[in-house]
Structure formats: structure tokens, C-alpha cells
Amino acid sequence: MQVTLTRKDTRFLPDPTRVIARFFSLSNERSMNIIREVMAMPEREVCIALSQVLRGFSRRHRNISMIFETHFNKLIVLFEEMGIRHARIDRSRKALIGSYFTIEYSIESAAFFNPSIVEDPDQSELSSGEKRLIFSFRATGEGHISSIVFRSAVIDRNNNLVIEPVGKMLAEAMRIKRHVYNKKSILKTLDEMHDLYNKVSPLFLIEKLKDRFTYGELKKAAEEIRNTHLLSPEKENIINQIMWLALSHYEIDFSLDSAISERVIFPISDTEKNGIEDARFVKFTEDSGEAVYYATYTAYDGMSILPKLLQTKDFYHFKGLPVHGELAQNKEWLCSPGRSTGSMQHSAE
């Protein structure tokens, strides 16, 4: 069947002014020096400095004061080490301290590419013959860290595409709900990733856990083994790999008052810290008629890659989890000659 294509003038362009507010990590010594300086400031100076900071940041970030407070809470261990009762610090001083540990990251400054397109779950308030669409892109920022961003558009009966305005108030999702892990799936994925069974069995840790366990239970078991055994480098590596894999499961929520173009899926787990690559969304309709959107992508931590799956029903709530199977082991393996058949499964049950 012959298909006629008409190239449109529409262009999707990166915007380096779109930034997210990230935690700015410093050495303990430098961090404690900053904390001492702010703690020594008179109350009036704190209020003036905070007002100046809020004027600048509030134009680019939704609820920046809450972000400052979140970053302040990441410093609680240092306050305890310094003998400062953090709970007694007033809210303005907390926000000012948090602002010193906040950095803006331009998510689209290096590249903007790898699109996919699906129907928007929300098709309300449209004229006859129109359809609302969601585009996903891989955005690459400073340090070559990739994230997933979105755009929205409406196409009419004549195939004219109207791009909806792009929001400036970018927001990361909140990490929510701990995952319940399946022992068999964890073992299978570990074996596929690094062929660990040929070196040392991970059962010395896994056998301490139930068939289904939480991250907290896994962390407790790992700490007990480290405290009671002198571990070989191979066994220490096994523990690190299992903890790394467990952190690759997550669920995230975006604020209901955010536009689709303001939602950024930035690397969340340690498995993704160097980037989320090549996500392509597709719409899948269940037998019940319910629509679910899936995207496979590659998580990269600077050394290892992990094939993963995103799923969502509304583009507000997302679930991320690793996939396993013969065709999901790594990019190089997938591209090797003669590898054309196999199975791929997601590891959650």
C-alpha cells in the first residue's frame, strides 16, 4: 500500500532556560561551614536574604520553598554531628539553608531527540475530528545526563498540528511507595546481568529473606551480614548489586496542577544516575478496554546498563521496573549476530 507523506513546518526545539532544582552536594566540611554561617546570621538578615532568593527562584519553580526544605532535610545528619537541634530552627532559616544546597540544572541544554507519540488519555474539550497527542523526548543536559520530557499537541481533521504552549515551571515527581520484591525475579535478573552464579552465589544474602520482601528488609539483612561476617570482595560486590537492582523499582507521582510539558522524569534510582535513554511510549489496550501506556528504556549508572519498563495510565502516576529475559540483557548483546529470538519479561509480579 502506497502512503503519501507531507512534511510539516512544525519543529520541536530544546529550551536551555528550562531548569529543575536539584540538591547541591558538597563535602561535609564545606557543608558544615555554610550551616555555621547561616546559623550565625541575625533574623533580619535571614529574612532579607531569603526574600531575595525567593524572588529569583519563584519565577522558574513551583513551590520552591518546599524544595528548599526538602534539601534542608538531607542535611539532618550533619546537624546532629554539629550538635544543632534542627527541629528548633525556624522555617525561614531552614529554607535559607536549603537554598544554599540547591542548584539549577538545565535539562535540555545538550540535546533534545528520540521522540515518540501516543494519544493523550484526556480527549475532552475538543472539536469534531480533533485528537490530543502526547510526545515524549529524550532531553540531555549538563554532564550528558538524560531524562524524559513531554510535549502536548492537537491535530485536526486536516492533519494540521497545533503545539500547546510549553510550561516553564518544571517539576520532578515525588518518589512514592516502596516496592515489594520477588526473590526468584531478583535472582534471575542478577544472573542475566552479570552471570554472577559462575563467581559466587547470592543466596548467602537472599536466603535470609522471605519469598516476597521490602527494601527495608533487604537493607536490614545486608547490614546484619556486614556486621557479623568478614566478606570477600566478591560477596561485597554481590550485596552491592542486589541493593542496586532493588533500587531500580519505583513508583512516582506528579502534581495534578502540572501541565504535561512541565513533568520531567529525571533519573531516580542509582541504576539511572547517568541517564534514562531511548524511552518510546506505546498505547496498549487491555481486554477490559482499559488503556495502559508502556515505554521500554535503558538505565545507565556510568558502568552498567539495565533494560527497564515504564508504565502509566494517566501520565501523572508512573511505575518503573527492570525487565529480564534473553532479549533484555544489554544493548551490545541484543545487537549481536544471530540473536533474533527470545523472550522478555518484566521482573515484578
In sequence order, the 6+-apart residues with CB closer than 8 A to the CB of 226 are 239
Does residue 141 share a domain with residue 258?
A: yes
Give me the mean pLDDT over the 123-137 stretch: 97
pLDDT one-digit tens code per residue, 278-317? 899 999 999 999 999 999 998 888 777 888 899 999 999 9
Is the pLDDT score of 347 beyond 50? no
Q: Per-residue confidence at 199, pLDDT binned at 50, 70, 90? A: low
pLDDT one-digit tens code per residue, 35-93? 999 999 999 999 999 999 999 999 899 889 999 999 999 999 999 999 999 999 999 99
Give me the mean pLDDT over the 98-125 stretch: 96
Last residue of a domain, one of 195, 227, 246: 246
Does residue 35 share a domain with residue 171?
A: no
What percent of the chain shows pLDDT beyond 70? 87
Last residue of a domain, one of 68, 85, 104: 104
Look at strands 212-214 and 180-182 and give their pairing.
Answer: antiparallel
Q: Which domain holds residue 205?
A: 180-246
Number of domains observed in the structure of the chain: 3
Taking the C-alpha atoms of residue 296 and residue 334, their distance in angstroms, rounded to an integer, is: 14
Taking the C-alpha atoms of residue 151 and residue 139, their distance in angstroms, rounded to an integer, is: 12
Last residue of a domain, one of 214, 246, 278: 246
pLDDT one-digit tens code per residue, 238-271? 887 788 777 778 889 999 999 999 999 998 876 7
pLDDT one-digit tens code per residue, 200-237? 667 778 788 888 888 778 888 888 888 888 888 888 88
Does residue 310 share a domain with residue 186?
A: no
Does residue 117 share a domain with residue 32?
A: no
pLDDT of the residue at 326: 62
What is the chain's mean pLDDT, rounded? 86
Give me the mean pLDDT over the 160-189 stretch: 82
Give me the mean pLDDT over the 149-171 stretch: 94
pLDDT of the residue at 335: 36
Q: Per-residue confidence at 328, pLDDT binned at 50, 70, 90? A: low
